[in-house]
Structure formats: structure tokens, C-alpha cells
Amino acid sequence: MMLVLWAAFVLSLAMTPMVLETLRRGGLVRLNYRGNSIPTSCGMVLVLASVPVMALGFYLGIIPLASWGLVLPLFLIASAAFAGLLDDALGGGDTKGFRGHLGALIFEHRLSTGAVKAIIIFLSGVLASTAIARGALDAVLKAFVMALSANLLNLLDTMPGRAIKAYILGTIPVLILTPASSASLAAGAMLGAALGYLPAELRERGMLGDMGSNILGLVLGYFYALNTPPAVQFVYFLFLVAIHVFCERYSLSRVIRSNPLLRFLDGLGRGGDSE
């Protein structure tokens, strides 16, 4: 596990400056919360750092192909990367939330890039869940856990490092309890890649974008779907539903600012600035 994590971390550190320059040259930039124009879709770093390590793990026999240990994470990463990049590159940012995307479809007869992204991610979760589920209800639960996890980290990705910190906090406890499973090794590779990129994010040299937050969220959801008992998955599902309903009316950033512990964790590494 530690070998996988460290390999992805080092590769991420090496890839980050090159990816930032490529995105900047390609014009894939957005205004951040300060109004500064910086590269987005830096989730590309996560792909370039984690996927080779996963492939090497399979080659060395650490990640077994027979148990979907390599195939499903790669499929989910590819799906989230494509959907997120589509929204980063073509999305205008004028449509927000479930009601916003649904309203655009019903009243404006317009399919927003955010809605396309959500459909791709949900269908990816459905396909992945059929390979690992024990029955129809279990498959439905796992599919929603994956899709809602992806969207949760997308909702959190409004300040530098926030989505990555959420991934770290969500991943480490289960990694400690199940360090040797194939899903843990995939999640560990992604954790190393995220940690390697994190300093650049905190220094506001780049943004994860929907590409990065959706990758982290979908991998996190897959990790919980494969590595935790059904009861834990169901509780996590209820938490995800509750927080999505909450976010349709209220601001997560306001909640984070009002809680001393959350505000402290959110500000670590970037001086505590808030929206």
C-alpha cells in the first residue's frame, strides 16, 4: 500500500508543473474565487499519476485483474475525467444544482453540460455496480453511492484544496481498516496523486476543476461500495442524500465558515481565506 501511495505521490509532484503549463498554453483557464485566471481541469494530474501506478501494481501482482481490481477503477476514472473535462471546457457555469439542470431541460429544452456530466457519471456507476453487487438492491445502492459521492466532491470544490481534503478524510479511515484490498490500492494510488498535486492547488496555481473533483468523488464512492458493509454504505447513502437536499437551499461554504473545526481544516495550507 505505502509503495503505491508514494509512487503516485512522487509522479504527481513531477507531473504537476508540466500539466499546469500545458493547460495554460491550451487556454483551459478559469477565474478562481479571487478573480485570478488560472488553469483548470488539473484533475489531469490525478489521471497521469495514478493510472501508471495502478498498471504497475497489476503487473507486479499487487492489484489482481480477476477481481476487477484494475478494470473498474480505470473505467470509472476515464468516465469521470471525460465528463468533467466536457463540463470544464464547454460549461458556462450559468446552470447550478439539480433544480437548475432539470429546469434547463424542462423549460428551456436545453441539455446543460452539467446534466450530461451527471448522466455519464451515474451510468458509469450503474455499470460498475453490476460487476460488484450482490443482487439488484445492492447494485442500486452502490450506483447511487458512487454517483452522489462524485457530485458531493464537485459541490465542495469551490475553494482551493477543499475537495482533496474531503477525499483524504473520507479515504484514510477505510484504508487503515482494509489496507490490502484491490480497491484500497486503487484509492491509495489516487490519494498519493492528490497529495502530490495539493501544494499547487493551495498556492492557487491551478484548479482541480470538475474533472478532478469528479474523479476523486467517483473513486471514493467505488472505494466505499467495495470495501464497506451494506449497513455502512446505506448510512453513507443517507448522508449523501441529506447533504444534497441541504445544498439545494443552503450554502456548504457558510456551514464550513460557521464551524470552528471545519473552518480550521478548510483553511489549512492557504491561510484560512474563505468565500
Give domain status of residue 275, yes or no.
no
81-103 in b/e form (b: 16+ CB < 10 A) is: bbbbbbbbbebeeebeeeeebee
Give domain status of residue 166, yes or no.
yes
Nearest residue to 16 via CA among 218, 199, 241, 250: 199
Among 132-141, 182-191, 252-261, the minimum mean pLDDT is found in 182-191
Residues 210, 116 contacting (CB under 8 angstroms):
no
Give domain status of residue 274, yes or no.
no
Tell me which residue range forms the domain holding 185: 2-267
pLDDT digits (tens, 9 = 90+) for 139-187: 999 999 999 999 999 999 999 999 999 999 999 988 888 766 777 888 8
Give the pLDDT mean for 95-111: 63
Give domain status of residue 60, yes or no.
yes
Predicted pLDDT of residue 114 = 82
Predicted pLDDT of residue 180 = 66
pLDDT digits (tens, 9 = 90+) for 29-48: 998 888 899 999 999 999 99
Predicted pLDDT of residue 191 = 96
Give domain status of residue 116, yes or no.
yes
pLDDT at 93 over 80: no
The total domain count for the chain is: 1
The Cα 189–Cα 222 span in angstroms is 14
pLDDT at 60 over 90: no
Predicted pLDDT of residue 227 = 87
Give domain status of residue 96, yes or no.
yes
Question: Rounded to 10 degrees, what is the CA torsion of 223, 57, 117, 165?
Answer: 60
Predicted pLDDT of residue 59 = 75
Predicted pLDDT of residue 263 = 92
Cα distance from N-terminal residue to C-terminal residue, the chain:
36
Cα dihedral sign for 95, 97, 99, 105?
A: positive
